[in-house]
Structure 1
Amino acid sequence: MNAADLLVACLEREGVEHVFGLPGEETDDLLFALRDSDVTFVPVRHEQGAAFMADVHGRLTGEAGVCLATLGPGATNLLTGVADAHLDKSPLVAITAQAGLERLHKESHQALDIVNMFESVTKWNTTIRDPDIVNEAARKAFKLAEYEKPGATHLELPEDIAAQGTVGEPLPERGPVPRPRPNEDAVDAAADLLAEADRPVVLAGNGAVRARSSDQLREFVTEHGVPVVSTYMGKGAVSDANDHSLMTLDSGDGAAQDALAAADLVVAVGYDIAEHDPASFHRSGVPIIHIDSEPAEVYEAYDPAVELVADIAHSLDALAGRADAGFDGAWFDEYRERIVDRVLDADPRGNAPFSVDGVLPVVRDALGDEDVLVSDVGNHKMSIAQRYPTYAPNTCIISNGLASMGIAVPGAVSADLAVDGNVLAATGDGGFLMNAAELETATRLGCSFTVLVFRDDDYGLISAKQQRDRGQSFGTRLSNPDFVAFAESFGVNATRPETRDALETAIGDAVASDDLELVEVPLVSRGPNQ
């Protein structure tokens, strides 16, 4: 057994089913070890796609997704997806090759200081300089990637070390490390704040979904009559069908922000300030109870009065057991009504060009409660975040930590491999073409998801902001290929509906299909800019 064989044996021991990546000369030992293993190597078309696949796998399953790249440009191409996992708190293990140790002390072909490059976007990363430490390094990479708060880790394996023999054995996979229960004094202080409040609001963040605490959160808000507003990444922590849901920040004509402005206490559950700047919604002087697995970031606009730093589910149970009887929910009924009316008020436009807001009810009707929508980043993401009701955790995947374009198609590939239900990738024309080549990966794997491409020939989110701030836009206009012909060239079924009836039929048929499908949705164009 050489070091590469041992590393792959460690992946098997960790329960890894897929490694997403690109081959390279320096990864030969790893690739042939993978060939002879129970782990499936998935060659992709760009390393960024591989990292996004691993990222979304981790987000959906709680188990680290794995991506592989060679040295130099392979490693640099991984970086965006690894950074996305880092800021979105998604467990991911990145593996990169490196030149032999004998040439790393000098300028050398394709040799970069990859470990230092990855330092700011990982929880931990290292170079394996001894074949006998592979087992320890692999176990540590997975343990840290998956432990709350999860994130990315990175292993660099030089090609000469990969080929060296070792007598090491994979370390046993261990169960999750138990997270601590909340401090009793902190629970008492939080309960006192809750008892003094008349209009508390829960702010559900990424951790409320990620920490698998949605059942406890739903019980807390329902039993105590507390409304809940979700961040974009907290969607589904409490079903939007629940009468206590005020859906997401920014939704419903500002009603969610209005509810937060009217609140006299904010209970932040699993919220990271990287998701949404608290300065945009938090009213100064209103106390905050911070419930999370780590202490709050120091920020003037987010300065909790009490911090319950422990397992989120345990903290919610403890607070619910210590809190007094429920609150009168009548105060937030108006906000709920405004939000529901806004979300259900579909664009009446019948034929193309359509609007994203008008298309989303069709998407919602086509997808089941447990089906997964993976959103790319762009103008459509804002509509999905605000106007796509979500009924279960991890069924609306939105990147809002790094918020990187290009995640939807590769993310849908790994989602299709990870979940039993239907998967839909919603993307703009800008984000789609960043990683559209992964359609070939999807067809090769026999994936059966739907790609919904909103086409407005524009970087619409930036254009809209420029128009709002300056009354004009610049540098945002695009030209596009015929997306239907483009998809069909990959062997993907594709259509471009021009009427409302055709739109409903196209989306419904695509979601129900066992094939890979693409639906191009022409949007209202903002016209030319220079």
Structure 2
Amino acid sequence: MTRIGGDVVVETLRALGADTVFGLPGQHALGLFEALRRAGDLRVISGRVENNLAFAADGYARARLAADPDGPVPVTPLIVSTGPGALLTLASLQESRAASVPVLGISSQVPVAGLGGGRHGYLHELPDQQASFRDVVKSVHVVRRASQLPTALREAWTSAATAPYGPVWVEIPQDVLLGPAGIPPITAVSAAPPALEPLPELVTAVAELLAAAANPVILAGGGALRSGAHAELLALAEAVRAPVVSTFGGKGVFPWDHELSGRSWLEDWHTTEFLAAADVLLVLGSGLGELSSNYRGFAPRGRVIQVEADLGKLESNYPGLGIHADVRLTLQALLEWVPMRASDGRAETAVAGLLSRVESRLAGQDLAVERKLIDDIRAALPDGTQTFWDMTIAAYWAWSAWNPEGAPIHTAQGAGGLGYGLPGALGGAVTGRPTLAVSGDGGAMYGVAELATAVQHGLDVTWLIIDDGGYGVLREYLTDAFGHTTATELARPDFVALARSFGVAARLSSPDTVGTDLAEALRTPGPSVVVLPALLKLFAPTHLEQA
């Protein structure tokens, strides 16, 4: 058969290391999907809606990162068609960008003759499709001839895999995909992301500050987790006897039950004050944004050191000593300089006191149902289960309370859009590991069509839908702010019957039986749904005047 441009794309992806592609066909992308059929050795995961498919690609990459932080960066190809198909991925790619997830988006385009004006009358035509992606993804790569394909894809792959990881976009016209390849088969393309190493002078300065600190504290963010800095962070914390608090995106990078673990109650004012009281606060892979700063309430009283791979985030919210570098490489360098500090028990006592204050605050509120639910969900999961959470009240609890050891947590709190839970979990399940998705009834309706995807691909996903009859988080926010709600109450289907109509096993649960029901569903191969009618509450954080 005559090789076409689509074959060059598939050959290049295979050479770069791809083994799985998430794709949804469209008129202008037919050359790509024919090439995938011809190749036969790349697994193609389809979907029902492009934004869900992009979430699934994101979930696949996150699951692989969590399972093998020392392995190659799992750049994940996502293939969609022109115009509407491409644009539907934007909100999902915003989440991937915010959470530093390496997704390689590839879209078709109208034929080359129709580019540039948006007036040629092609189906799906846009005046400037790439402009829609330019401020969402890390980089945009445009192809106009088949000979440009290997280099453009290599550059895009390198960009996605360079710290900070993130989504990238490649645009290829229809006639390039369908036309003759014009170049020999591609078998030896490789990408070499540059190492983002810290400047040695800055490493020395940080080591001196940590050595002299009387009360050092570490805040570990998503950048620490993405860089695979688990071992180095543990070694540094134990060397300088520094308590470690994790951001919501950094959960899992430091042992949950370690004597120096302050865990991740970042919406709690006791934790905010604990961080603020440090004479040296080492911030690893966090921009100290809205959530990590307790909605800008954080006011550090000591020296802030910020290690961040995203140059634009350095000192963007708080002044300090900024180091533009990969977290893992920075910690490796620091460990050569910081002296070992003998434990005098002060750090351990401080951490125990912090967790005791958090517990006392929670115990003073009527939150037994919510706390039991998180405990029951966690206890039901087999070791190694990947969990994916939508923007729902249970997820807000999980940000703080979830123990991620043996059950990594992936949430949409980077960009905060609805609909991540099920499609993200479908991507996680493609890795071959059991997955749990957690959604509210509002978020569930965004991705319910992907139950068909779960069935079609035989994916081992258990979906917990917590049905409170509306957008629960927004209901609380509006009520607290104005005493009334608007547009938060929702008509919804019988989720059990709907799931069964897809051929998915489903059951109605209760707060008393949800742990048992989830455990049974997780033991059953293939997709399953557990529906829990429950009206949950957010916890009330302690404010400054109450601390």
1:398 is matched with which residue: 411, 416, 429? Answer: 411
| 1:43 maps to amino acid | S
For residue 236 of structure 2, what is the aligned residue in structure 1? 220
For residue 481 of structure 2, what is the aligned residue in structure 1? 469
How far apart are 1:376 and its partner, in Å? 0.8
8 A Cα contact 1:247 1:339, kept in partner = no
8 A Cα contact 1:233 1:399, kept in partner = no
Q: Distance in 2 between matches of 1:6 and 1:99?
A: 18
Q: Distance in 2 between matches of 1:177 and 1:46?
A: 31
Which stretch has the larger CA shift, 161-170 or 427-436?
161-170
1:436 paired with 2:451, answer no
1:55 paired with 2:67, answer no
For residue 87 of structure 2, what is the aligned residue in structure 1? 76
1:363 is matched with which residue: 354, 359, 377? Answer: 377
1:414 paired with 2:427, answer yes
Which stretch has the larger CA shift, 310-319 or 210-219?
310-319
Alignment of 1:13-32 (within 5 A): 13-32=15-34
Q: Distance in 2 between matches of 1:223 and 1:129?
A: 54
1:230 paired with 2:246, answer yes
SS of equivalent residue, structure 1 residue 36: helix
Which stretch has the larger CA shift, 15-24 or 117-126?
15-24
Q: Distance in 2 between matches of 1:139 and 1:300?
A: 31
Q: Distance in 1 between matches of 2:184 and 2:357?
A: 62
8 A Cα contact 1:245 1:336, kept in partner = no
**Percentage of identical aligned residues:** 26
| CA deviation string 1:252-310 (max 9, x = no partner) | x5332231132222110111345735362532442111123344625564112x23333
For residue 3 of structure 1, what is the aligned residue in structure 2? 5
Q: Distance in 2 between matches of 1:106 and 1:233?
A: 40
Q: Distance in 2 between matches of 1:339 and 1:492?
A: 40
Distance 1:122 1:499, change over 3 A: closer
Distance 1:296 1:334, change over 3 A: farther
| 1:53 maps to amino acid | A
How far apart are 1:24 and its partner, in Å? 1.2
Distance 1:326 1:51, change over 3 A: farther
SS of equivalent residue, structure 1 residue 19: strand
Q: What are structure 2's unaligned runs of at least 5 residues?
A: 65-72, 538-547
Distance 1:344 1:68, change over 3 A: farther
Alignment of 1:372-387 (within 5 A): 372-387=386-401
**Could you say what the CA RMSD is over the residues aligned between the two structures, in angstroms?**
2.4
| 1:367 maps to amino acid | L
TM-score w.r.t. length of structure 2: 0.89
1:164 paired with 2:176, answer no
2:160 is matched with which residue: 125, 145, 154? Answer: 145
1:130 is matched with which residue: 132, 145, 150? Answer: 145
8 A Cα contact 2:104 2:169, kept in partner = yes
| 2:44 maps to amino acid | F
Alignment of 1:506-517 (within 5 A): 506-517=517-528
| 1:58 maps to amino acid | A
Q: Distance in 2 between matches of 1:345 and 1:369?
A: 32
Distance 1:106 1:369, change over 3 A: closer
SS of equivalent residue, structure 2 residue 307: strand
| 2:229 maps to amino acid | S
Q: Distance in 2 between matches of 1:445 and 1:496?
A: 25
Distance 1:498 1:277, change over 3 A: closer
For residue 259 of structure 1, what is the aligned residue in structure 2? 274
How far apart are 1:209 and its partner, in Å? 0.8
Q: Distance in 2 between matches of 1:463 and 1:522?
A: 16
SS of equivalent residue, structure 2 residue 88: helix
For residue 37 of structure 2, what is the aligned residue in structure 1? 35
For residue 530 of structure 2, what is the aligned residue in structure 1? 519
For residue 313 of structure 1, what is the aligned residue in structure 2? 328
Q: What are structure 1's unaligned runs of at least 5 residues?
A: 350-354
SS of equivalent residue, structure 2 residue 532: strand
For residue 208 of structure 1, what is the aligned residue in structure 2? 224
How far apart are 1:348 and its partner, in Å? 7.9
1:335 paired with 2:354, answer yes
How far apart are 1:94 and its partner, in Å? 0.9
Distance 1:54 1:184, change over 3 A: same
Q: Distance in 2 between matches of 1:244 and 1:117?
A: 45
1:244 paired with 2:260, answer yes
How far apart are 1:419 and its partner, in Å? 4.8
Distance 1:296 1:99, change over 3 A: closer
8 A Cα contact 2:152 2:170, kept in partner = yes
How far apart are 1:332 and its partner, in Å? 2.9
Distance 1:15 1:456, change over 3 A: same
Which stretch has the larger CA shift, 201-210 or 360-369?
360-369
Q: Distance in 2 between matches of 1:275 and 1:12?
A: 39
Q: Distance in 2 between matches of 1:508 and 1:32?
A: 41
For residue 290 of structure 1, what is the aligned residue in structure 2? 306
| CA deviation string 1:412-431 (max 9, x = no partner) | 111011253x2100111111
SS of equivalent residue, structure 1 residue 226: coil
8 A Cα contact 2:59 2:427, kept in partner = yes
Distance 1:274 1:77, change over 3 A: farther
Q: Distance in 1 between matches of 2:382 and 2:319?
A: 39
Q: Distance in 1 between matches of 2:342 and 2:283?
A: 18
SS of equivalent residue, structure 1 residue 280: coil
Q: Distance in 2 between matches of 1:309 and 1:299?
A: 10
Q: Distance in 2 between matches of 1:205 and 1:523?
A: 32
| 1:468 maps to amino acid | D
Which stretch has the larger CA shift, 424-433 or 311-320?
311-320
Distance 1:419 1:335, change over 3 A: farther
Distance 1:214 1:507, change over 3 A: same
How far apart are 1:443 and its partner, in Å? 0.8
